[in-house]
Structure 1
């Protein structure tokens, strides 16, 4: 399948898509960014979908837009649209396909290589993990990556979910810091985080070129299977 356009769903008007627009442009694909609170496109109009991250939990139905997005994503999957879900997006995609999302026993934060049990998918990273929740891979999916704490990647048909952030860059991380600074939950996190945000940002800056190369390879594999 050759596509020339893709839609990425963001979960806050201030969110950005990291290195993804640049890497999709290299593939000749225009990446349109949509916020979840704007009208979502009809499933039949989509060629390729990305569902990106959020500080929210994919099981918290107090979030005003969550139920609508989940129902829409189920329809998108029923229509057979190839989808890449990243972090929160991988969790919501898992739910849409019949998996579960839950609060993990501890947070998983930092750069790490992942175990890759299949010989045809060897994208070990290192990748940045920054999450408090985890998913069970949906029924009928192939587990592609994992750590001791959580499943990290799965493939279901032409859709792919990854718990880590292959798209991360410093500009994207700066939007996370801004969110933590302005939200009550984020302020509580920052109060106990010490120098963690500064350390993570410095690591992102140091690894940015290598991470972009790793993301490029992962995307090429995803797109090559469509």
Structure 2
């Protein structure tokens, strides 16, 4: 009998926030990659609305990705964000491992009893992340683009941080990340094209500087993303599911 490959489902919460380097890293580890678009491009200006998500039982890993909206926005929390939070609870109860990225990490915090609120200052660009468990979350410069931050859910263990915000926590078989390990040059170009409000410049960094630094770090970032996925699979997703 031919073994069935494990499957990761990436939740594309906003059409411009795709899996990029994370998808490649999971493929390298023998995973089939599936995606589910939560808010398509035609709804980007009016994203509220209920969503019927896939059954989490069919996946080994579910990874909610980034978005530009706050997870605590009432109109969203009362519709698809609330639906996605229920998906996270159902997935965790069934033993599916979870990997949340930025908005997705904040979603995990909010789902499991933490809180998310506006940060005193945004983090945009490459920020130095200090890690207590480099075998799970390698330290170093990671890409950031966020205005909110979480407080830890009950029972969670923080693994990494910057001077301004928590950057990673584990809770059961879930790993939440505040930074964007998936970002490569091509994805960043998409984000910069969508930066119509000049958020990067307001944070004191130009688009050219962001692109140059991303290109300089490309080889190192790709290696650390693969180490991060390996650590996640070894220490979280690779553990026996609860009976």
Normalising by the smaller structure, the TM-score range is 0.7 to 0.9
Structure with the bigger RCO (C-alpha within 8 Å, sep 6+) is 2
Of 8-17 and 165-174, deviating more is: 8-17
State the SS of the aligned residue for 1:113: strand
Equivalent residue in structure 1 for 2:56, among 36, 43, 46: 43
Equivalent residue in structure 2 for 1:77, among 56, 75, 92: 92
Distance change (3 Å), C-alpha of 1:119 and 1:196: closer
Give, in whole Å, the separation in 2 of the partners of 1:172 and 1:202: 14
Distance change (3 Å), C-alpha of 1:200 and 1:136: same
State the partner residue of 1:206.
216
State the partner residue of 2:72.
59
Summarize the alignment of residues 118-157 of structure 1 with structure 2, pairs less than 5 Å apart: 118=133, 121=136, 123-157=138-172
Contact kept, 8 Å, 1:152 with 1:162, in 2: the verdict is yes
TM-score by length of 1: 0.88
**Which structure shows the higher strand fraction?**
2
Length, aligned pairs only: 220
Contact kept, 8 Å, 1:90 with 1:161, in 2: the verdict is yes
Distance change (3 Å), C-alpha of 1:44 and 1:131: same
Unmatched segments (≥5 aa) in structure 2: 40-50, 239-243
Of 209-218 and 167-176, deviating more is: 167-176
- Aligned-residue CA RMSD (Å): 2.2
Please state how far the C-alpha of 1:71 moved relative to its aligned partner. 2.4
Equivalent residue in structure 1 for 2:182, among 156, 162, 167: 167
State the partner residue of 1:106.
121
Of 161-170 and 114-123, deviating more is: 114-123
Give, in whole Å, the separation in 2 of the partners of 1:129 and 1:180: 14
Contact kept, 8 Å, 1:3 with 1:47, in 2: the verdict is no
Give, in whole Å, the separation in 1 of the partners of 2:80 and 2:7: 25
Give, in whole Å, the separation in 2 of the partners of 1:194 and 1:83: 34
State the partner residue of 1:221.
231
Contact kept, 8 Å, 2:18 with 2:65, in 1: the verdict is no
Distance change (3 Å), C-alpha of 1:82 and 1:26: same
Distance change (3 Å), C-alpha of 1:172 and 1:120: closer
TM-score by length of 2: 0.82
